Structure 1
Amino acid sequence: MKPIDVLNEGYGRLPDLMRSAVKDLDADQLSVRPGGVGNSVAWLIWHLTRIADAHFSEAFGHPELWRADGYAERWGLSIDPRDTGWGHTSEQVDQVKVSSGEQLLEYFGAVHELVMNLIAGLQDEDLHRVVDVRWDPPVTLLVRLVSVLEDAEQHVGQAAYARGIILAAGSSD
């Protein structure tokens, strides 16, 4: 199996995980922060999608879908459109609100489709290209792709956990 096959397999699993994380949650539930301080499902899904969008944009030299395709405008968040959620304060997490799980899945779906198309066009030798010299050692495309995938898996797992807490709390009322 080639590295690109592994990337396709890993990224290909994300849509089902996303749908499961937001399933049956309404807008209010998507904004619940477990324990009052944890990240909401909405924030987690938005953030992992923004990270993928920003990193793939930089690595492949195309505009971020968040801004170029009007998601930032349609969502109307009160945060900077360049913001990806990295290092957000509690107050900033509270600012990420959505109208539905479908809103989250629409943006994720657009980014995911782009990601899968970009990966499909790669050759093994492309994976060694340096995409970020701000680190020591510099980051190759393969390392960036793996780190974005790992980040997405962690955040969607957190969203699924938060979903379970939210649904369990609702069923005990």
Structure 2
Amino acid sequence: MNVSALLTDAYARVPEEAQQVLDGLTDDELTARIDPAANPIAWLVWHLARGEDAQIADVAGSEQVWTSAGWQERFGLPFGPGDTGYGHTSDQVAQVRAPADLLTGYLDAVHRRTSEYLAGLTEADLDRVVDEAWDPPVTLGVRLVSIVADDLEHLGQAAYVRGILLRARG
């Protein structure tokens, strides 16, 4: 298996897992908070998609799907075009309200763009430095693993919240 196929497989798990987390939940359940400071499922899925979109666009030298394909307007959130949710306050988290089909539509669009980018990668590309603000500088390979790890971590959090909500349903 080459590096492109390996990364494509890893990233393909994100929308698959997100669909399982979102399946059958009501809009109220998507925005339910199991604690006043907890992140709801809608915010978690939106945030992981925004993070992947922004970071892949950065390393690919392209525009984010969020702005280039009209997702910012469809969501209608009161945030700037570059906002990914990083550092959001509790009040900002509460403003992310979206139905499952909108969340999966955006995540699927991000996944298609990510897959297109990954399809052209070679092993040599992974050593390219993409961020010199760290010591040591971050390579493309490290960044790509970090993105998918963050996505899967947020999906795990969303799955945990889903389990609590479904248990509360009875």
Q: TM-score band (shorter)?
A: over 0.9
1:104 aligned partner = 103
Structure 1: how far apart are the matches of 2:72 and 2:147?
21
Alignment of 1:74-153 (within 5 A): 74-98=74-98, 100-153=99-152
Contact 2:54 2:84 in 1 (8 A): yes
Contact 2:27 2:100 in 1 (8 A): yes
Does residue 49 in structure 1 map to residue 42 in structure 2?
A: no
1:5 is displaced (CA, Å) by 3.2
1:52 is displaced (CA, Å) by 0.3
**Structure 2 length normalisation: TM-score?**
0.96
Q: What are the superposed Cα offsets for residues 106-162 of structure 1, whole Å, 9 maximum, x if unpaired?
A: 000000011111111111111111111111111111011000000000001111111
Contact 2:130 2:138 in 1 (8 A): yes
Structure 1 gaps, min length 5: none
What amino acid is aligned across from residue 159 of structure 2 in structure 1? A
1:66 aligned partner = 66
1:165 is displaced (CA, Å) by 0.9
Q: Percent identity?
A: 45
Structure 2 gaps, min length 5: none
Does residue 12 in structure 1 map to residue 15 in structure 2?
A: no
**Structure 1 length normalisation: TM-score?**
0.94
What amino acid is aligned across from residue 6 of structure 1 in structure 2? L
SS in 2 for 1:34: coil
Contact 1:79 1:95 in 2 (8 A): no
Structure 2: how far apart are the matches of 1:57 and 1:17?
22
Aligned-CA RMSD value: 1.1
Structure 2: how far apart are the matches of 1:70 and 1:9?
27
SS in 1 for 2:38: coil
